[in-house]
Structure 1
């Protein structure tokens, strides 16, 4: 093989390897087994008196999470991180701590967002920590409606990512509080991602 041809082949292989390394690789066989993931998108929160929206970045690894809301409540960025035992919130006013993300968000913003439940609902699953009722499925077998702890949850716009089917939209609400999520990217933690077009 001529030197110039060998260099061409080598460069091609390196480029191919680089592209492959950027792809999402989920080793889980079902959404329930998916313990390490990331999403990017938008979130909208609505109460009887007002509504807010923000860009959302969420990294999850087992029970550890890192959530960034950019632009909510007119207060710039909010960063939320923690696990099942503690949570820390950072914004332009400082740093705050509590036993859970729900407690922190409610204390700081008055919004009782069920973060512990959302990490399951985002994947189109009810939380295993509470009973569930009124489950409905699409013709493809995707869970599109269920009720849990007083919340009506509607995952939708499922799309295949490798061997998994994951939702790209989520709506959850109680009588007074509504959450809407529009997911742009699903990825494996902070590595590659799959974009929904």
Structure 2
């Protein structure tokens, strides 16, 4: 029942007055890796199989801590990146690798582009990587198509929703609390 409610609430976010999020010219020109803490909701759909939950993410230039939680708030997975590499804890097990992308591909069967997500969650293209903005405002970078959505009635420096698609994988992030 809680999963159906959360899935419905994710779909309902599209009913508000939305527009394409466009970062300010200054933020695009001065892309800097700034620390942040953000929490919100996440949905993942791979080959027609989906799941929803919540996330808490603390980002620093040298480390990340990303927790994915069930709709009821219990931690399902915890990803930690620092100078020594990356670890993923889930289902009572721990996996380690040199980088997030190879670890998530090995364990989850799909790649979480955490390095670029640092930028994309803020509505920016990742620096030092080729990118293209389409006429509809979507960003194409490193094989991903990213759509940034804002609330037309509430100005914000960040998108209210980030939709990402690559191959058979779709990720949707709804950042709600920036610290």
Specify the TM-score bucket, using the shorter chain as the normaliser: 0.7 to 0.9
Q: 1:181 to 1:90 in 2, by over 3 A?
A: same
Instruction: Determine helix, strand or coil for the equivalent of 1:105.
Output: helix
SS in 2 for 1:55: strand
Secondary structure at 2:124's aligned position in 1? coil
Q: Find the aligned partners of 1:182 and 1:133 in 2 and give their Cα distance.
A: 23
Equivalent pair of 2:67/2:75 in contact (CA under 8 Å): no
C-alpha separation between the residues in 1 aligned to 2:47 and 2:61?
Answer: 34
Q: Which residue of 1 aligns with 2:4?
A: none
Structure 2 counterpart of 1:179: 171
Q: Deviation at 1:114?
A: 1.2
What are the Cα deviations for residues 37-82 of structure 1, in whole angstroms up to 9, with x where unaligned? 011111111112411112110110114110000139xx95101011
Q: Which 4+ runs in 1 deviate beyond 3 A?
A: 158-161
When Rg is computed on C-alpha atoms for both structures, the one with the higher figure is 1
Give the TM-score, by structure 1 length.
0.66
Report the CA distance between 1:171 and its aligned residue. 0.4
Kindly indicate whether residue 136 of structure 2 is the aligned counterpart of residue 151 of structure 1.
no
Matches of 2:167 and 2:32, distance apart in 1 = 31
Runs of at least 5 residues in structure 2 that lack an aligned partner in the other structure: 1-25
1:59 corresponding residue in structure 2 = 58
Q: TM-score, normalised by structure 2?
A: 0.73
Q: Give the superposed CA RMSD.
A: 2.5
Distance across 2 between alignment mates of 1:92 and 1:167 = 32
Flag structure 1 segments of 5+ consecutive residues without an equivalent.
Answer: 1-28, 138-143, 188-197
Note the 1:41-80 alignment, pairs <5 A.
41-71=40-70, 77-80=76-79
